[in-house]
Structure 1
Amino acid sequence: MPDNDPTAAPVTGRAALRADCANCFGLCCVALTLTASADFAINKDAGEPCRNLRDDFRCGIHARLRPAGFSGCTVYDCFGAGQKVSQETYGGRDWKRAPDTAPQMFQVFPVMRRLHELLWYLTEALALPAAEPVHGELRAAFEATERLTHGSAEDLAELDVSAHREKVAALLQRAGELVRSTGPRGNRRDKRIRRGADLIGARLQGADLRGADLRGAYLIAADLRGADLRGADLIGADFRDADLSDADLTGTLFVTQSQLNAAKGNAATRLPRSLGRPTHWSMTPDGP
């Protein structure tokens, strides 16, 4: 395909946007702040290694994070930013053997994570036929974002990633609107179903939410058992402890593995092909 073909496959594929902990210096276990809560059993400042981090940068309790009180670790997704910073930005120099790199590395990691998350969304948008009118702009945004990820540590540390994210978010919104306008629409009489809605604990069992705009909605502990979410825009929606048992999420827009990992579900929950069934979900079709 010609280089200027807006439908050409992105240079960075989905595989590069998945965490590869074997090639990371345990950055999420050091760079981020942990607050003692239902998600984390301890308080930890940014830049302080988690007490469970081993000398080889592996988690000492990886197989039992949830029962040990670290469910938040099973939800977090760096979108491949960890290995990118470790192996490309810093050329394999880790913060233990080169402690002078540590402060900057821990600053760069969350910036890279946000850029990689944008690449994930842009990759999905470029694969949506209904978003073809904006494929050219999406491709340009993808290439601009990818270039930023290959910048120097100094450039990344100084990057105004929020400003860049805002531009990309507007483009992703347009792509989502194009897709939802051509697909089936569910129940529109429920005025609660809208962008950024407070649906904490909402009873939405069996709800027809096809094509709904639920961007940034708070669906914490919501009952979504058997709900039809096909074609719904779920970018930024908070699914912590939401029950997705028997729900249909095929064809949803911009849902991530992290969102699924934060929720509950079962063997009958229908998922997009690009995402996996969380290991803590019930494996029976009738829910936990």
Structure 2
Amino acid sequence: MAAQKSTLLRNGLIVTMDNHERLLRGDILIENGVLTQLGQVDKKNATTIIDCSNLILLPGFIQTHTHLCQTLFRGQADDLQLLPWLQQKIWPMEASHDAETMRISARLGIAEMLKSGTTTIQDMGSTHHYDEIFEEARQTGIRINGGKCMMDFAETVPDYLLEDGKSSLQESERLIKTWHGTENNRLRYSMAPRFAVSCTTHLLAESAAMARQYGCNLHTHASENRDEIALIEKRENSRNIDFLHKYGFTGEDTTLVHCVWLNEHEKDTLHDTHTSVAHCPASNL
């Protein structure tokens, strides 16, 4: 039987984030990765003691939208609008990843977030090599909701990233069965069609159904750019949020990312369905 490991964070200024928003000077005991005591803790209970007298102890930050697959692309073509940025820069670079470079990209992105106090992330990958991202999350200890992105609409997706819808769903299901709920539920899967522009209605509907079958979240981009919205209006005769709502991409289990260009009806839809929105100021301002 493995020996119990415990760490005592001693005499720190604790930001509790409890219902009373208390700040207190005290200790935190961590046993086998679980916070078990807060307050004044007997140091005899700890195998490791860390003096936190000059430190602030607070819950880890949560990053609600990341692309660990894009860490190495930072600063590329920041002067381009969304669709040219994707088509000319990001998609070709994503396609160039092999398993090793995907691991490096994920490792660097996770290290940067952990260093700045982020301990939980929601991530969207590329169409391939998502096992590598989960493996890096497993090794580093970060908590992740993540999944491969899905792209099967031939008219808008380049050949080098274009998936067959059935194969994309099968790969997502394999990843769910491999990773979802592992590491004491620290690693969880999110179904992640990239955005309405890159997906068929079949893929969207089946993704939503699969997420609910396995108890996963839904995670996609929406209404980040007016050209994106115009494409959906022309193709589907629908506003972006209405289109996603029709195929199951609203609800308490759904995060829509950006949502910059919404009309009042779309805002009401998100409110009424309790859909979460992840704003990205650094991307959109």
TM bin (shorter chain): under 0.3
Query: TM-score with structure 1 length normalisation?
Result: 0.27
Greater C-alpha Rg: 2
Query: TM-score with structure 2 length normalisation?
Result: 0.27
